[in-house]
Amino acid sequence: MLSASSSLLRSSLRTAAKSGLQLRCFSHLPLSVPIKLPNGLEYEQPTGLFINNKFVPSVEKKTFEVINPSTEEEICHVYEGREDDVGIAVSAADTAFNNGSWSNIEPSYRANCLLNLANFIEQDKELIASIETLDNGKAINNARGDVQVVINYLKFAAGQADKMGGRLINTGDQYLNFAKREPLGVCGQIIPWNFPLLMWAWKVGPALATGNTVVMKTAESTPLSALYVSQYIPKSGIPPGVFNIVSGFGKIVGEAITNNPKIKKIAFTGSTATGKHIYMNAASQLKKVTLELGGKSPNIVFADADLKMAVQSIINGIYYNSGEVCCAGSRVYVQEEIYDQLLEELKNAAENVKVGDPFSESTFQGAQTSQNQLSKILSYVEIGKKEGATLITGGERLGSKGYFIKPTIFGDVKEDMHIVKEEIFGPFVTVSKFKTLDDVVKMANDSEYGLAAGIHTSNINTAIKVADQVKAGTVWINTYNDFHHQVPFGGFNASGLGREMGLESFEGYLQTKAVRARLY
């Protein structure tokens, strides 16, 4: 791979990293660098901030390093935004909103632009999936699935752009009443590192379809795919200032976005702790907020379930995307009659999960996205052992290069253990026994989170009864991590506020104006 910086610069950055310093430097970085991907594809990677439909350097010309989690090698540098850059981006977005070039234009025009955007991505989808795999470490087949969901969701959002107008209200012949749906204004959007492009689309789609403008912060560890697809924004017909990206760090760029008074709405996907902080900051200015946060989701297997199907759903529920999924089925509950049999089959299946080179077509579990995440997962392995749980399989780093870990299963767990209660965010699952439906519902709901749940049974009455009682925003029956762009996604309790995807996702980007006119 080609790098944007010299060997001297890389050496300095490595030294800084070993000293615990942030990987930042002053550099005259070009606005794009050539990159050759491991699968042989070559492309130009944008490195600038994206403001007013152009890639530009940051005000202070600082950059930060982007690391390939599969090799621990530098991919390139991108410009690091700071408070001044956020101010410039917000000003551009505010101007674009107030001049009406997007907010007041015919909704069908916005629909066509979003459709164009989806089509550009579709034409380039193999390259975009490869960029996602390079930057995030996820398996290439997972990345391809992400890109397809991106395309489908943008097309869905395009189809809703002209359906958000409002309604007439009949109060008799002396008045004309109508409720009008209007965009909010400038929206701040902060996306995570586990699904960089997918979260980009989940935020962009409803915000732009409803006529808002956007200032977005990507995750500092995975900025590349969002920057790459942003080059399609002007080509799609979207006016300058409507969509902007300021790459950078949460404590600087994220804070500046959250606190800017011109930003009327914050959409954040990430940890519950950060979500609470953002919520408190936004509340001081009465900003509208959407939060998609953490989870510790139960995946329940009844004795009458199809065992092979259930095991495959558990595998998909916890090892898909290297386990870096907020709704991962990280707590498996198995009815006691089949506990031993399921645990043995699950162990065999986990040990046959292909972990390694994410560009290999046979790989299911790629690398963890960062050294920090790998270290966190391994620390929970030690916590689980100390708490008295039984390590069934995994729990070890795989190889010495790249952030890989073996699929991990703990049995003989108790419900008050840290490994059962706390979000680990990796390929790490606990397996518990239960006796009755009432028992497992109580266990499933014994969590501060409420993002998702899985139910495996051949009895539809059992499935619906548990689905009704479990406290989760999404419930999958005889499947898991099975997303569709028309189905809303979001959590209860500490898992967040508002919804992504589905018709419900548009509500977070609209406000209602009532008009009542007396007729003479």
Cα separation of 520 and 511, whole Å?
A: 29
- The helix or strand, by DSSP H or E, that contains position 366, with its residue range, turns out to be none
| DSSP state letters, 71-130 | TTEEEEEEEPP-HHHHHHHHHHHHHHHHTTTTTSS-HHHHHHHHHHHHHHHHHTHHHHHH
Closest CA to 185 of 107, 110, 263: 263
- Dihedral angle over CA of 233, 237, 239, 242, nearest 10: -40
- Burial of residue 26 (CB within 10 Å: 0-12, 13-18, 19+) is exposed
Which SS3 state, helix, strand or coil, does residue 150 take?
helix
Tokens 């990796």 belong to residue = 426
> Is 422 assigned a catalytic role?
no
- The helix or strand, by DSSP H or E, that contains position 391, with its residue range, turns out to be strand 390-393
Report strand pairing: 42-46 vs 32-36: antiparallel
Q: Please say whether the beta carbons of 212 and 185 come within 8 A.
A: yes
Quote the radius of gyration of the chain (alpha carbons, Å): 24
Largest alpha-carbon pair distance within the chain?
Answer: 81
How many C-beta neighbours within 10 Å does residue 165 have?
11
Which SS3 state, helix, strand or coil, does residue 167 take?
strand
Cα separation of 379 and 384, whole Å?
A: 9
- Burial of residue 31 (CB within 10 Å: 0-12, 13-18, 19+) is middle
Q: Which of 292, 324, 423, 500 is catalytic?
A: 292
> How long a stretch of residues is the chain?
520
Amino acid found at 48 = G
CA of 392: how far to CAs of 395, 407, 456, in Å? 9, 10, 22
Amino acid found at 75 = I
Tokens 């470490």 belong to residue = 137
Closest CA to 325 of 66, 136, 56: 136
| β strands within 137-287, DSSP E | 166-169, 175-183, 186-190, 213-217, 243-245, 263-269
Give the residue numbers marked as catalytic.
292
